[in-house]
């Protein structure tokens, strides 16, 4: 038997990570070519969760698209609602006759629910990342806190996952009686829980060593590859739409923006997995602060039942029958980064085009670059650190 | 031969009808006297380990864990099988009478809440599952692997003393034997990984081999330290050497004899975790990376055997740890009275003490698993070769130095099996040399290593301070 040169040279192993794999956060498929444990190429394959949401947008009326935005990112549906409604409001505002004014109380409630949803989304993100790195318990502790947020939202709008709560011109319902107290109590106990979480995960040496120096994205690279949100800030770029391009009442709140600073210490670098993780946990703290701030300045509930805060504004429906022609792009800061809706209106009751720009899509773009030459075990850590939610990639 | 070894001889002689029985009779007798009861103790204990795992995990994760599977059905089934010769109506009557007993009525719900019912349900489920051999699998290798894994986990128990002279194989190199036969598990995991015809399994198998072969070195070095200290490789002798008369008999345990032995004990436990593929060293399974690693393709009974082997091995590590460092079967207090007690009293107590120590170690392993993340494969290797092995060598050297300086190898032997050489009483100097200097040096080393490694970022330390407790950590 002669041994051929090709067998001696060895061959790369083709691995299929997903679409059914415990660590791919949904039906994400990653084609990996590896030399044993070391990944040489890594190509994400998308489309397993494509539901043509953007196309649906062209087939339904303006207001009917709001429930679909829930499905664009079901981990933070409030933020997705908000992004779309803001875009439509901005479109309506291009013509003075159709412009809608969002009541102050509704603006406050919007920030409140968006930040609560950011907290619950980040809890999933950091918990799932810890789970990918092998610590199962923190994930459940994170989920337990998310359940409490879901309880609040369920009382608010009857839903626990896809809320359909933010409407064009306001929010669907006013806060239920006792909601501010409930939210304040939740924030207090969340802070106590977070201390435990940090002791369990954030300051854990194994966790830090697993993340330190893995998949480093420099600030220049992050900008060049179009990373957004925590992934961008993890690389040390100080940019947050809530502060730098404020919408709603964010401009008055003075949002503090955490950035990655090489928190992992000597073995880490600015923009590694640990920095992206830390940015998320710091953003949770910041969201807690923002929620408290909003609760303090929440205007009193309206006395009349017809007040537009809780419910549909009658005149918005009229204006949406004949919105101004033109196009508008509205960017918001969702938990997974910039969520932008690009709307084209031809003046009819349906959008001519709805285009969604999402954070996970940007993050998935850099996968093949950062997942080169790392260990197989790091692949799942990197997916976790970029906090990819697959329906955001496949719309 | 000692202890129950006589029983094997007697039974074999009786079976063979002669005073010099052949190998078959001896084997059969050993099976009846030893292997059967040992299986009857170790495997239920391993099954119990699964319940411990699920319950402890549940407690750590603030949930209830298995508590709903009733034991009523299994009890009925067992009673009906045992009373198969009776007509159904009479079986019903017996069952009704049984279920009326206050003890049964009070015990059943308790066992249910403890999750024992789940154990029965899982067992039945496992037996009933479809037995799948994947198309690309190497059938023979694939089928053989779980049995080998179980064998590798079970065989070392033969050399472990469960009580005074209650040991199956009285080999003079028991410590060596235990390490050697547990190496079979490596082969089993490699076979499972290779034979499955699945790349994830293959990676798991390869990781298992690399890791277990590496970690056998710190395990071996740690055992070498104990052997050096006690002057024997006989596990029974190692236990006997830890005997200390007096009320607080745990003062004689190896763990407390020397700081170097304490370091070796820590290394042994860590490396033991790695040997049985537990978090943070569960490279071979690595659920979030390799789906389930080497046993991804297994189902039903074979998967169950792997699970059983895993828990058996955990108990084995615990038992070995107890034997080497925690005085084996000896009670932590008042061992001198137990030694003097009659056999019918001392053997069960010794056995219980031994198993409790193993279960305690198992509990710690479970606790670690549900608390810590997993190391990466290169970090596991680095920890072994760059930290544990050098640490072991240094500790071994220090231990030898301590022995030379303080003179003698063996402190004392309550059973009179080893030459009792008393160390010269150096008083405060021995304490200084034996404890203070090594501990101080160790503290400095740890501090240096910590600084070199890099500690938590100061900004993050603030996150771990409880705002309600006035910012105190």
Chain B residues with beta carbon closer than 8 angstroms to that of A194: 463
Residue of B nearest to A25 (CA): B288
Alpha carbons A170 and A172: distance in angstroms, whole number? 7
Are A202 and B378 inside 8 Å of each other by CB?
no
Q: Which of A211, A209, A225, A218 is nearest to A367 (CA)?
A: A225
pLDDT in tens, A327-336: 999 999 999 8
Residues ≥6 apart with Cβ < 8 Å to A388: A25, A28, A336, A360, A363, A364
Q: Does A206 touch chain B (CB under 8 A)?
A: yes
Measured in degrees and rounded to the nearest 5, phi and psi for residue A134 equal 115, -5
Q: Judged by CB atoms within 8 Å, which residues 209-238 of A form the interface with B?
A: 209-210
Are B288 and A134 inside 8 Å of each other by CB?
yes
Question: b/e string for B93-116 if b means 16 or more Cβ within 10 A?
Answer: eebeeeeeeeeeeeebeebbebbb
Give the single-character DSSP code of A27: S
Residue of B nearest to A143 (CA): B61
Residue of A nearest to B57 (CA): A137
Q: How close, in Å, is residue A20 to chain B by CA atoms? A: 10
pLDDT over threshold 60, residue A310: no
Q: Which of A343, A394, A353 is nearest to A83 (CA)?
A: A343
pLDDT in tens, A158-170: 888 888 888 888 8
Alpha carbons B315 and B311: distance in angstroms, whole number? 6
- Cβ atoms of residues A334 and A229 within 8 Å: yes
Q: Does B135 touch chain A (CB under 8 A)?
A: no
**% residues pLDDT > 90 (chain A):** 20
- Cross-strand pairs, A43: A31
Predicted pLDDT at A205: 84
Q: Judged by CB atoms within 8 Å, which residues 345-374 of A form the interface with B?
A: none
Q: Which residue do the tokens 């099954």 mark? A: B47
Residues ≥6 apart with Cβ < 8 Å to B7: B29, B33
| Cβ count within 10 A of residue A33 | 14
Predicted pLDDT at A83: 92
Q: How is residue B348 written in tokens?
A: 């069960």
Q: DSSP readout, B43-93?
A: HHHHHHHHHHHHHHHHHHTTS--S----SHHHHHHHHHHHTTTS-HHHHHH
So what's the ipTM on this one?
Answer: 0.81
Q: How is residue A369 written in tokens?
A: 């670059």
Q: Does A36 touch chain B (CB under 8 A)?
A: yes
Q: Give kind and range of the element (H or E) at residue A234.
A: helix A229-234
Q: Which of B200, B159, B135 is nearest to B328 (CA)?
A: B159
Chain B residues with beta carbon closer than 8 angstroms to that of A380: 288-289
Q: A272: helix, coil or strand?
A: coil
Longest Cα–Cα distance of chain A, Å, equals 92
Alpha carbons B169 and A348: distance in angstroms, whole number? 89
Chain A residues with beta carbon closer than 8 angstroms to that of B461: 203
pLDDT in tens, A229-277: 899 998 989 898 988 888 888 888 888 898 888 888 777 888 889 999 9
Measured CA to CA in angstroms, residue B123 lies from A177, B74, B80, B120 at distances of: 51, 11, 19, 5
Q: What separation, in Å, do the N-terminal and C-terminal C-alpha atoms of chain A show?
A: 54
Predicted pLDDT at B5: 66
Q: Reply yes or no: is the peptide bond before residue A19 cis, omega within 30 of 0.
A: yes
pLDDT over threshold 90, residue A7: no
Alpha carbons A195 and A214: distance in angstroms, whole number? 25
Alpha carbons A387 and A382: distance in angstroms, whole number? 8
Q: Judged by CB atoms within 8 Å, which residues 236-295 of A form the interface with B?
A: 261, 263-267, 278, 281, 285
Alpha carbons B442 and B431: distance in angstroms, whole number? 16
Q: A389: helix, coil or strand?
A: coil
Q: How is residue A112 written in tokens?
A: 């409140």
pLDDT over threshold 70, residue A303: no
Alpha helices in B155-198 (DSSP H): 174-182, 184-195
Q: Reply yes or no: is the peptide bond before residue B436 cis, omega within 30 of 0.
A: no
Q: A128: helix, coil or strand?
A: helix
- pLDDT bin (cut points 50, 70, 90) of residue A283 is very high
> How many CA atoms lie less than 13 Å away from A384 in the CB half-sphere?
31
Burial (CB count <10 Å: 0-12, 13-18, 19+), residue B340: exposed
User: Out of A27-36, A58-67, B161-170, B274-283, which region has the weakest mean confidence (pLDDT)?
Assistant: B161-170
- pLDDT bin (cut points 50, 70, 90) of residue A290 is very high
Predicted pLDDT at B433: 65
**% residues pLDDT > 70 (chain A):** 94
pLDDT in tens, A80-132: 999 999 999 889 888 888 888 888 888 888 999 999 999 999 999 999 899 88
Predicted pLDDT at B473: 39
Q: How close, in Å, is residue A238 to chain B by CA atoms? A: 17
Chain A residues with beta carbon closer than 8 angstroms to that of B370: 136-137
Weakly modelled stretches of chain B, pLDDT under 50: 1, 409-425, 471-473
Residue of A nearest to B470 (CA): A192
Q: A158: helix, coil or strand?
A: coil
Q: What separation, in Å, do the N-terminal and C-terminal C-alpha atoms of chain B show?
A: 58
The crossing angle, in degrees rounded to 10, of helices A77-93 and A314-321 is 70
Alpha carbons A394 and A388: distance in angstroms, whole number? 11
Are B375 and A210 inside 8 Å of each other by CB?
yes
């Amino acid at each position: 038997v002669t041994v051929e040169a090709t067998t001696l040279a060895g061959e790369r192993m083709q691995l299929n990570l997903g679409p059914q794999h415990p660590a791919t956060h949904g039906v994400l498929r990653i084609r990996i070519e590896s030399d044993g444990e070391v990944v040489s190429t890594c190509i994400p394959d998308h489309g397993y969760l494509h539901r043509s949401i953007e196309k649906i947008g062209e087939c339904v009326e303006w207001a009917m698209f709001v429930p679909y935005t829930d499905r664009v990112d079901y981990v933070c549906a409030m933020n997705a609602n908000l992004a779309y409604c803001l875009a439509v409001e901005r479109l309506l505002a291009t013509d003075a006759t159709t412009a809608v004014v969002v009541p102050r109380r509704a603006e406050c409630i919007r920030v409140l629910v968006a930040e609560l949803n950011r907290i619950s989304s980040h809890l999933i993100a950091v918990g799932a990342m810890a789970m990918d790195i092998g610590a199962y318990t923190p994930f459940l502790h994170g989920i337990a806190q998310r359940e409490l947020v879901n309880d609040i939202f369920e009382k608010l709008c009857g839903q626990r996952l896809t809320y359909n709560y933010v409407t064009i011109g306001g929010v669907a319902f006013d806060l239920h009686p006792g909601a501010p107290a409930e939210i304040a109590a939740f924030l207090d106990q969340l802070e106590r829980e977070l201390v435990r979480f940090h002791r369990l995960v954030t300051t854990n040496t194994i966790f830090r060593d697993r993340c330190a120096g893995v998949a480093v994205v420099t600030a220049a690279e992050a900008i060049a590859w179009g990373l957004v949100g925590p992934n961008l800030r993890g690389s040390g770029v100080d940019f947050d739409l809530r502060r730098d391009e404020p919408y709603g009442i964010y401009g008055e709140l003075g949002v503090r923006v955490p950035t990655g600073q090489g928190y992992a210490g000597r073995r880490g670098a600015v923009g590694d997995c640990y920095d992206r993780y830390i940015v998320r946990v710091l953003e949770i703290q910041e969201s807690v602060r923002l929620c408290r701030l909003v609760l303090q300045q929440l205007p009193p509930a309206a006395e009349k039942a017809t007040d537009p805060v809780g419910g549909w504004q009658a005149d918005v429906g009229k204006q949406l029958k004949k919105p101004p022609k033109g196009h508008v792009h509205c960017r918001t800061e969702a938990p997974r980064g910039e969520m932008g809706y690009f709307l084209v209106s031809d003046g009819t009751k349906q959008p001519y085009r709805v285009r969604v720009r999402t954070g996970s899509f940007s993050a998935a773009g850099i996968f093949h670059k950062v997942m080169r030459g790392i260990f197989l075990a790091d692949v799942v850590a990197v997916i976790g650190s970029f906090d990819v939610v697959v329906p955001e990639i496949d719309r | 031969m000692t202890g129950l070894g006589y029983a094997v001889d007697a039974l074999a002689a009786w079976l063979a009808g002669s005073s010099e029985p052949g190998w078959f009779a001896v084997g059969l007798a050993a099976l009846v006297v030893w292997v059967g009861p040992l299986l009857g103790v170790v495997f239920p204990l391993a099954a119990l380990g699964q319940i411990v795992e699920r319950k402890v995990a549940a407690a750590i994760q603030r949930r209830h864990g298995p508590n709903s599977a009733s034991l009523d059905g299994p009890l009925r089934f067992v009673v009906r099988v045992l009373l198969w010769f009776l007509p159904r109506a009479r079986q019903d009557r017996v069952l009704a009478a049984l279920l009326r007993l206050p003890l049964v009525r009070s015990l059943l719900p308790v066992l249910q809440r403890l999750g024992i019912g789940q154990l029965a349900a899982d067992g039945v489920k496992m037996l009933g599952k479809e037995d799948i051999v994947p198309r690309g699998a190497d059938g023979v290798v694939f089928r053989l692997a779980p049995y080998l894994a179980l064998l590798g986990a079970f065989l070392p128990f033969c050399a472990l003393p469960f009580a005074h002279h209650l040991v199956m194989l009285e080999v003079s190199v028991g410590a060596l034997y235990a390490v050697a036969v547990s190496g079979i598990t490596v082969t089993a995991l490699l076979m499972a990984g290779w034979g499955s015809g699945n790349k994830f399994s293959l990676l798991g198998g390869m990781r298992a081999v690399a890791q277990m072969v590496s970690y056998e070195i710190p395990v071996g070095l740690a055992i070498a330290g104990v052997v050096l200290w006690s002057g024997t490789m006989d596990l029974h002798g190692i236990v006997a050497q830890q005997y200390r008369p007096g009320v607080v008999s745990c003062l004689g345990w190896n763990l407390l004899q020397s700081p170097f032995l304490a370091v070796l004990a820590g290394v042994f436990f860590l490396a033991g975790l790695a040997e049985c593929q537990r978090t943070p060293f569960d490279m071979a399974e690595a659920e979030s990376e390799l789906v389930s690693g080497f046993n991804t393709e297994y189902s039903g009974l074979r998967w169950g055997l792997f699970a059983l082997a895993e828990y058996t091995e955990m108990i084995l590590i615990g038992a070995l740890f107890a034997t080497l460092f925690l005085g084996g079967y000896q009670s932590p207090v008042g061992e001198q009275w137990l030694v003097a007690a009659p056999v019918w009293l001392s053997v069960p107590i010794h056995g219980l003490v031994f198993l409790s120590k193993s279960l305690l170690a198992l509990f710690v392993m479970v606790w670690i698993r549900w608390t810590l993340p997993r190391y990466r494969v290169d970090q596991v290797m680095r920890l072994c070769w760059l930290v544990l092995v050098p640490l072991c060598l240094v500790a071994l050297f220090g231990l030898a130095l301590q022995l030379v300086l303080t003179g003698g190898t063996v402190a004392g032997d309550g059973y009179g099996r080893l030459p009792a050489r008393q160390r010269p009483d150096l008083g405060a100097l021995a304490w200084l040399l034996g404890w203070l200097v090594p501990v101080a040096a160790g503290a400095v080393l740890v501090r240096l290593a910590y600084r070199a490694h890099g500690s938590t970022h100061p900004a993050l330390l603030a996150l771990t301070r409880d705002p309600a407790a006035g910012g105190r950590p």
